[in-house]
Amino acid sequence: MEPPFLLVDLDRTPPPTAPPPPGAPCVRIGLAAEPGDSAGEFDVLLTAASAPPRPWVGCADPYATAERLRDIVADRPDSCLALVQVLRMSPALPPPDRLVLESLAYSTLQAGAKFQTWLAAKHAYAARPAAEPVRLDRNGGRLALTLNRPSVRNAFDAATRDALCEALEVAVLDPTITRVDLYGCGPAFCSGGDLAEFGTARDYARAHQVRVHRSPAALLQRCAAKVTAHLHGACVGAGIELAAFAGRVTAASDTLVRLPEIGMGLIPGAGGTASLPARIGRERTAYLALTGAPLSAHEAHDWGLVDEIDTRFRRIDAGSRHEDAPWITVGD
């Protein structure tokens, strides 16, 4: 059976005259030696040109990259199709509804065969809860939020989600807070979902409700204009999906971005199908998610996923503060 995959060589074949219907059951890839005007008609656009403009992705061998994408779609058709369908549909929805659409697709895929196979083969990880998974520090109108599980590279568990929601609610509801800085403690900003509890929810309908109503992404949408995310090290899955909502994103030179969920039989589930397209477009978002390819800090900057490379970045270690100014810990 042929995979739901269409490859069009735009140097030989005229592009389609209209974009695919949002629910079209096919991943559409276009390639060309030089980028042209084909935006909206394909899910991913590949070119051999270096540093091509958005929405194109530059690669040394577009045909080899397209073949790799074909293999990925053939192996995981359900998650690949769900991804491109969500990305196509989202622009027509209000921003909060984009998160609902993503969560519905994510929950559906959790019951799928590919995710269940991945889950059965997953190594068992011991839970390592943190006493203070998110640290809050306030100095006047400035609020600093620090993901505080350095021993697991700030892996995102339910406790971290809940603590971050509580912190962001402060930022949303308190008009005297004019700036929010989001950091990660230790060697990485955030390594993604905590594998110790990943997939432990068995009621996927209930998990959808929790994901929608206990959503850091939804809160970040509401206060994005005053949020700056400071990235370093691994920014995987939720680590980049949430950060991309920020009005401003800086990155240390060691930052590495990756979306691994398709490899698990899922799609990004922490808001990435809403946050990344707003910065880099749906085609480049689809490429990152479909391939799981890493993106360096400088590549992320070139694409617009990062606004600034922070050459002065100083890593935050447990118990330290990021600024020299005296901080007042919220609740003290």
CATH number of the structural domain spanning residue 301: 3.90.226.10
Task: Work out the mean pLDDT of the chain and round it to a whole number.
Answer: 92
**Does the pLDDT at position 173 exceed 60?**
yes
Same domain, 34 and 179: no
Segments forming the whole domain that contains residue 224: 94-329
Same domain, 162 and 291: yes
pLDDT computed for residue 327 by the predictor: 41
Same domain, 46 and 106: no
**Does the pLDDT at position 135 exceed 90?**
yes
Same domain, 45 and 138: no
Residue ending a domain, choose from 48, 75, 102: 75
Residue 85 counted as domain residue: no
**Does the pLDDT at position 137 exceed 80?**
yes
Higher pLDDT: 317 or 243? It is 243
pTM of the model: 0.93
Number of domains in the chain: 2
Same domain, 135 and 45: no
- What percent of the chain shows pLDDT beyond 70? 95
**Is residue 42 within 8 Å of 32, Cβ to Cβ?**
no
Residue 125 counted as domain residue: yes
Same domain, 60 and 131: no
Band of pLDDT at residue 322, cut at 50, 70 and 90:
low
Same domain, 41 and 110: no
pLDDT computed for residue 332 by the predictor: 34
Residue 165 counted as domain residue: yes
Same domain, 43 and 160: no
pLDDT computed for residue 123 by the predictor: 86
Same domain, 200 and 245: yes
